Amino acid sequence: MQDRYHRKINYLRISVTDRCNLRCVYCMPPAGVKSVSHGQILTIEEIAEVVAAGVPAGISKVRLTGGEPLIRRGVLELVAKLRAIPEIDDIALTTNGILLEKMARNLKDAGVDRVNISLDTLKPVRYREVTRGGNLDQVWRGINTALGLGLQLVKINTVVIRGFNDDELEDMARLTMEHPLHVRFIELMPVGTSENWARGRYIPSSEVRELITGALGNLTDENRTLGNGPARYGRLPGALGTVGFISAVSDHFCDRCNRLRLTATGQLRPCLFSHRETDLKGALRSGADREALTRIFQSTVMSKPDRHHLETDRPQHDRVMSQIGG
Ligand code: SAM
Ligand code: SF4
Ligand code: SF4
């Protein structure tokens, strides 16, 4: 359905768990976030019911995220349940890739169309540093497995961090020359606990683009959108894949926003940076029927703000990225 600003809202990002097997420096504090108890997290059946209730309000595309979605017990069952909803025509997943080698085949068989894999560096030591302990080899095995399975689109998410990976952006972009990968450079957002950490480390997409085109040649604009997101894509000369830019801070693509977010604890949010949320879990557990849940979707769509004000406002601190679902 359309919101007050004439945007078509059809996409739901679902955080299936607030837990993670990594602790990326920009996403979580060193000790991790205090996980909520299992009882507070939506069950697999509840998530599927919430999505079914979103359908009459216009939801037709979903993304499973977290935390790390692949550590959520029952994630395959969830994918199968979502696949069984005829109106849902796109099921995507964002993962750190650590468990992907093992799970990719089953995910595809259950109905996942596309995967995004987060990878901020090509250097094993740096990878261990930024993720506080991750093993880069495992991620590469996951990426290669996903490519081998012929999943429609395999995208790499790279958060650009000054003084950390700004000397590797060219190498990351070069991956698209040899592999049908879509490498997306994401602006570091001052969100949740990473706000202080992010200060001084942010690099705007315009600078990343200049660096890449200076080193590797012009990017030909790819007009088709790849998936449901706000990235702008270009192709290097002769490349198999594309390079994308997600300029969440510098180019508020809010005028093209199509999404709502569901937190692991069952709160429906109109916007990543809004602190407004509606308690779908409470409604569900107190016996609300599907129509009542659909009405919550509809009122959340109508409460979407026009845009974020990250350039001037301090973000809301109530949750970190892994809890909202990045
Ligand atoms: N654990 C999964 C993963 O890492 O892909 C899914 C959840 S993670 C929160 C989703 C995405 O959000 C990742 O690509 C991550 O790099 C990104 N992210 C987390 N914190 C961020 C921040 N402060 N600024 C920009 N991107 C961020
Ligand atoms: Fe975990 Fe993803 Fe956050 Fe890294 S970015 S700590 S992998 S949720
Ligand atoms: Fe949409 Fe809010 Fe993100 Fe803007 S900040 S793109 S309105 S979710």
Tokens matching residue 143: 């990426």
**Cβ contact 296:280 at 8 Å:** yes
Antiparallel, parallel or unpaired: β 242-246 and 232-235: antiparallel
Residue ranges of domains in the chain: 11-324
Give Cα 239 to chain centroid, integer Å: 25
**Cβ contact 33:281 at 8 Å:** no
Which of 257, 276, 306 is the pocket-test mutation for ligand 3 (most atoms within 8 Å of CB)?
Answer: 257
pLDDT of residue 190: 83
At 95 the three-state DSSP class reads strand
- Tell the residue nearest (CA) to atom 2 of ligand 3: 271
- For residues 36, 189, 258 and 54, what is the CA-based torsion angle, rounded to 10 degrees? 0
Residue pLDDT tens, the chain, 326 long = 999 999 999 999 999 999 999 999 999 888 877 788 989 999 999 999 999 999 999 999 999 999 999 999 999 999 999 999 999 999 999 999 999 999 999 999 999 999 999 999 999 999 999 999 999 999 999 999 999 998 878 999 999 999 999 999 999 999 999 999 999 999 998 876 567 778 889 999 999 999 999 999 999 998 776 777 778 899 999 999 999 999 888 877 888 899 999 999 999 999 987 778 999 999 999 999 999 999 999 999 999 999 876 655 555 545 556 555 55
**Cβ contact 159:26 at 8 Å:** yes
- What DSSP assignment string belongs to 184-213? EEEEPP--GGGHHHHTTT---HHHHHHHHH
What's the rounded Cα separation, in Å, for the pair 99 and 92? 16
Question: Which of 10, 1, 5, 91 is closest to 307 using CA atoms?
Answer: 5
**Cβ contact 9:268 at 8 Å:** no
Question: Is the distance from the beta carbon of residue 134 to the nearest atom of ligand 2 less than 6 Å?
Answer: no
Domain 11-324 belongs in CATH node 3.20.20.105 = no
Question: Is the distance from the beta carbon of residue 276 to the nearest atom of ligand 3 less than 6 Å?
Answer: no
Match 């037709």 to its residue by tokens. 60
Give Cα 77 to chain centroid, integer Å: 20
**Cβ contact 15:323 at 8 Å:** yes
Amino acid at 101: E
pLDDT of residue 274: 78
pTM score above 0.85: yes
pLDDT of residue 229: 75
Distance 27 CA to ligand 1 centre (A): 7
What's the rounded Cα separation, in Å, for the pair 40 and 36? 6
What's the rounded Cα separation, in Å, for the pair 23 and 20? 7
Question: Is the distance from the beta carbon of residue 260 to the nearest atom of ligand 3 less than 6 Å?
Answer: no
